[in-house]
Structure 1
């Protein structure tokens, strides 16, 4: 090679190095070899992409954060990579499965910014799940880090369609209570569609990558250590970006950015990938990468609860109505009664104590409703200002423990800022000291809390059953909603939908106002499809004389604790078939969210050759509702079962 050519090549190589053409690339592959994450730096920025079975499921998407100690989103320089295997066998209560064997390959890549400060990005990759986060060690004399924004992005292939729920503007809606994760999902939408309020989308976010498969994006491990995040609107260049809470949340109080002590880490961002919806429905990634934060003070019990408020509304928080609900719970063999807002005014504390004693004599425990605080919004329901300070909480919880109350439902939170996430954590921790389980409403998505907090039960964080009462529009959409959530909201965390509704009309007399548009078996099946360890069965005293005996018997026996969950069939917003195992018995529940009859051929190898009960319906020309029936049948040795569902109907096959 002549000298001039050699010199020219040297100049080109130096130029390439200075402009970042040479990129450092590392990859981590799932234990089964099907899921691959590539991490690469280009021009000082860090990116990742995701392939499943060789197909691109996430395009090259940016990583990084911008913090008070420096910018970790650009001018990054590679330092090192390390790999190890993760093995964690653990048990849980109150989720879709009771025992998990988590196996993942972990890769940690270290980059330094222009100040020579290091950031580690750690990826855990299991067979269908990815979890990644940013980690920071001790930095000079700094005790903590403030993160002002994340560069984290999610770029999906152009053929992708979306199943998303928009984030609302802050301080709007009834009594300025939004955002509260109670917006409507839009199915099969293009990525280019703008969110309803222009504020992006709440987690979890479901994507259909054309014919190649499905992707679910969410986060886990968020408590008082970080604000709750969401996705921005889509842009062709960045895809979806991870964004912090809006400054207007909580009536403008509190910081919208994040802060944590050093050394420390952000919560985990999660991506679940599959060629079908099976890995989406069955994922446990929300729990796989988090740990319990404290020990349970007692053995908390799952169960079912009656709830007057859904149909009888505010005026039912009086002693006589609640005594009826206690008697109903006892007759059905249920463990709990939830006494909703205004109980302190309509019943009073002395008579609540009396009611609790009466309930316990019937083998039933009370749960009480509370307003979370008095400054985040204008919700007037009482009791208020009992849960927002540690002194008030402990005084209230000590009183509840003394009268035998076993649970609380805390409502009307103000947003996703870090101080609100800290409030959730504080309520849960204090409640555990007094043996109290906790349900949240008017609230954010729980993020791994079932494993982190042993007395946590569930959260609303969804456009729930109360809306079927408030508006006929939502009653008509119940089929769509409850066939959406098994693939999105309810697959990442327990969901307090708020009631298997057995009244046919949304009124106390069960004759007036608008009707329920779903069938009886749909509602019964929903008690299985909707997952929460303490499940609301919104049955009323009048239903005992109105419903067929086989429906009453089923509602008496339906479990709320599950040992295993399997996806059988379905499509978001159209239909869902989910199998759950309680002990050694399987319950297969099917929901038809459409206005047309639906016939399905199901493969149920777990009950092959077994005798089962089959709950089904036939069209009734003289009624809005199909007639329900149950029969015993034997499943063939091949495990194949054919079911038929009426419009907005359901089906149940159980041992």
Structure 2
């Protein structure tokens, strides 16, 4: 924390009685740039006519962006087991302000170095009547959004934190347009579409009261006010938050938090000793959806790195046997050690550091070899080619055997573990993520969580966690038509807000929707090949799969872009875009810049200013949709031109198309 008297005066405002901080007061917290103002107040329920003093009331917050109200009075309350609601009958007893700076390095992500300043306030809330409990709200205002969390101290009459439900409300000032991830229940892999609709559509289906469970983060647009997203960070010791419109009628347009219950259905959602901190509740704000993508709040609000030596944590690309159906050099499927060597050879020839060995090598016992692939033998073979092996694991087997398995994998020389079908984010499930990350780090194993909940910033605390899935990825081409350009231009503004995602790009059998056929082996991909190239820039994937069979890339000159593009970045700029329509993102590693641009099924001509470039001239290496890519989506045009900051590039994207560019400084 950094003290700054002038900053504190501009950051914190009290409205009401000058002492006692009674419930008639408002505490206002402004972001460092003064564009965001968060206000806390108490809405009184009764008035004592004898003393003319207001009694305790409901704690609420509101939020303004650039002088316009964005979120109106939204309640803050906790339902504790065998207790009255905590927050519904309180007053503000005190408020303490501060300023701070989140300054840290990230091993992998959208940026390598973060410097985010914030203003902060801690409110002490007390009940004036029995049972006389107390709690705190810790809040921060950054230039890209706000965050707050509940802190419940140890106190008389409250021996443990037993949370039945958290009743945090999020009330936009209008029936906001939202991109909702509808989920069937609390046990899913977060693999579905983000459906555009207004918030009231989540409460009334066909004139019938409806209560729809939605994953967070949720993107919202309030036209004329702001773009916003509601999410969470730092889940350690807690359970994940879902969002629901609780009104059940066509007039309601707000959300309330729903905390993931225990998977066995027994006990409170969170059971912990006191004192206890909830997860951070985040509201990102910006004038464009791209500004939300650039924010670092999800990692800002997590504990610092707990791994002293991170030199062994190396992001990169991996060849992969599963997506294309284990096809070998003869075009036939074979899950054998010899065939997996084919994928190792491809990784080595392409300069990729990894090969991902997917499901099938082990049975229920993950400490002994099963199937037809000898993992130690494959690891030794790969080591001779300067390639390392990741291995797929079933989450229940990991839960039962990781104490024995992880040291064994370290002995074998395995680089990382891809853990699948987790499908839970209750308190015990979230703790399991931390246990896995910690034990894996002790044995120099990187982690890729699949069948998982959305990220919440744990990669800052345990940077060996490179990837999460939690996305409707390219694998859906194997069985149906759910993957396509529409999702690909939506995910950057929705799923990617909270962190990296293992979408698995790189399919080279690119076809039109009319020619598409779902198939398990050698799957097709709707949209253009240039779009597949651009995904390596647009999507944040520190461990990026190169998904197709090696033979698919042979003799294809545009494969050069996949070989060269990095998987982690020093800087990220979202240049333009709208969810479901198009997106253009530029990312820098060192002195080189990379640009990816995607469109949905609508062809577009985009004019992209190159103001993000540094001084001097750059060689731009462009991989574009060919003139006939609308009906021949495999066709890519490659060209070069000299550019500099201040220039504007014109990009012509075909239907389902894209463009990938590398900018290299010229001497």
Asked if Structure 1 and Structure 2 have the same fold, meaning a TM-score greater than 0.5 normalized by the shorter chain, the answer is yes
Whether the 8 Å contact between 1:119 and 1:135 is mirrored in structure 2 is yes
1:84 to 76, 94, 98: 98
Shift of 1:625: 1.2
Whether the 8 Å contact between 2:171 and 2:254 is mirrored in structure 1 is yes
Shift of 1:507: 11
Determine the structure 1 residue equivalent to 2:422. Answer: 413
Shift of 1:545: 2.8
**Could you tell which deviates more after superposition, 342-351 or 126-135?**
342-351
- Unaligned runs of 5+ residues in structure 1 are 1-19, 171-177, 374-384
- Does 2:345 match 1:327? yes
Within a 5 Å distance, the mapping from 1:36-51 to structure 2 comes to 36-43=37-44, 44-51=57-64
What is the rounded CA distance, in whole Å, between the counterparts of 1:157 and 1:317 in structure 2? Answer: 56
- Does 2:489 match 1:483? yes
Within a 5 Å distance, the mapping from 1:452-463 to structure 2 comes to 452-463=461-472
1:560 to 555, 567, 572: 567
CA gap 1:652/1:298 in 2 versus in 1, 3 angstroms: closer
**Could you tell which deviates more after superposition, 134-143 or 60-69?**
134-143
Aligned length: 605
DSSP 3-state at the match of 2:399: coil
- Unaligned runs of 5+ residues in structure 2 are 1-20, 45-56, 328-332, 364-368
CA deviations 1:111-148 (Å, max 9, x no partner) are 11342221111110011210100012221386531111
Within a 5 Å distance, the mapping from 1:187-226 to structure 2 comes to 187-194=196-203, 198-223=211-236, 225-226=237-238
Shift of 1:642: 1.3
Whether the 8 Å contact between 2:452 and 2:468 is mirrored in structure 1 is yes
CA gap 1:637/1:459 in 2 versus in 1, 3 angstroms: closer
Determine the structure 2 residue equivalent to 1:34. Answer: 35
Measured on the aligned residues, the alpha-carbon RMSD in Å equals 2.6
Within a 5 Å distance, the mapping from 1:540-551 to structure 2 comes to 540-545=549-554, 547=556, 549=557, 551=558
CA gap 1:169/1:606 in 2 versus in 1, 3 angstroms: closer
**Could you tell which deviates more after superposition, 485-494 or 563-572?**
485-494
Shift of 1:316: 4.8
CA gap 1:508/1:161 in 2 versus in 1, 3 angstroms: closer
Shift of 1:635: 2.1
What is the rounded CA distance, in whole Å, between the counterparts of 1:600 and 1:328 in structure 2? Answer: 35
Shift of 1:255: 4.2
Whether the 8 Å contact between 1:154 and 1:238 is mirrored in structure 2 is no
Within a 5 Å distance, the mapping from 1:143-292 to structure 2 comes to 144-169=160-185, 178-194=187-203, 198-223=211-236, 225-233=237-245, 235=247, 236=251, 239-246=254-261, 250=263, 252=264, 255=267, 257-292=269-304
What is the rounded CA distance, in whole Å, between the counterparts of 1:163 and 1:583 in structure 2? Answer: 34
TM-score, normalization: structure 2?
A: 0.86
CA deviations 1:307-343 (Å, max 9, x no partner) are 1111216965421221111111111110111111111
CA deviations 1:418-446 (Å, max 9, x no partner) are 11111111111111110000011111112
What is the rounded CA distance, in whole Å, between the counterparts of 1:66 and 1:465 in structure 2? Answer: 41
Shift of 1:512: 8.3
Determine the structure 1 residue equivalent to 2:49. Answer: none
Whether the 8 Å contact between 1:568 and 1:578 is mirrored in structure 2 is yes
CA gap 1:504/1:621 in 2 versus in 1, 3 angstroms: closer
Determine the structure 2 residue equivalent to 1:311. Answer: 324
DSSP 3-state at the match of 1:191: helix
Determine the structure 1 residue equivalent to 2:643. Answer: 635
Whether the 8 Å contact between 1:298 and 1:435 is mirrored in structure 2 is no
2:78 to 59, 65, 73: 65
Shift of 1:509: 13
Whether the 8 Å contact between 1:372 and 1:411 is mirrored in structure 2 is yes
CA gap 1:349/1:24 in 2 versus in 1, 3 angstroms: farther
Whether the 8 Å contact between 1:95 and 1:494 is mirrored in structure 2 is yes
Shift of 1:61: 0.6
Shift of 1:483: 0.9
DSSP 3-state at the match of 1:40: strand
2:437 to 422, 428, 438: 428
Determine the structure 1 residue equivalent to 2:366. Answer: none
CA gap 1:275/1:254 in 2 versus in 1, 3 angstroms: same
CA gap 1:278/1:231 in 2 versus in 1, 3 angstroms: same
**Could you tell which deviates more after superposition, 123-132 or 184-193?**
184-193
What is the rounded CA distance, in whole Å, between the counterparts of 2:350 and 2:370 in structure 1? Answer: 24
CA deviations 1:83-126 (Å, max 9, x no partner) are 11011211111111111111000011111134222111111001
What is the rounded CA distance, in whole Å, between the counterparts of 2:80 and 2:578 in structure 1? Answer: 41
- Does 2:618 match 1:592? no
1:624 to 624, 628, 632: 632
Shift of 1:159: 4.3
CA deviations 1:554-588 (Å, max 9, x no partner) are 11111101111111010101111011111111111
CA gap 1:623/1:573 in 2 versus in 1, 3 angstroms: closer
Bigger share in helix: 1
Shift of 1:212: 2.0
CA gap 1:45/1:238 in 2 versus in 1, 3 angstroms: farther
**Could you tell which deviates more after superposition, 491-500 or 181-190?**
181-190
- Does 2:509 match 1:503? yes
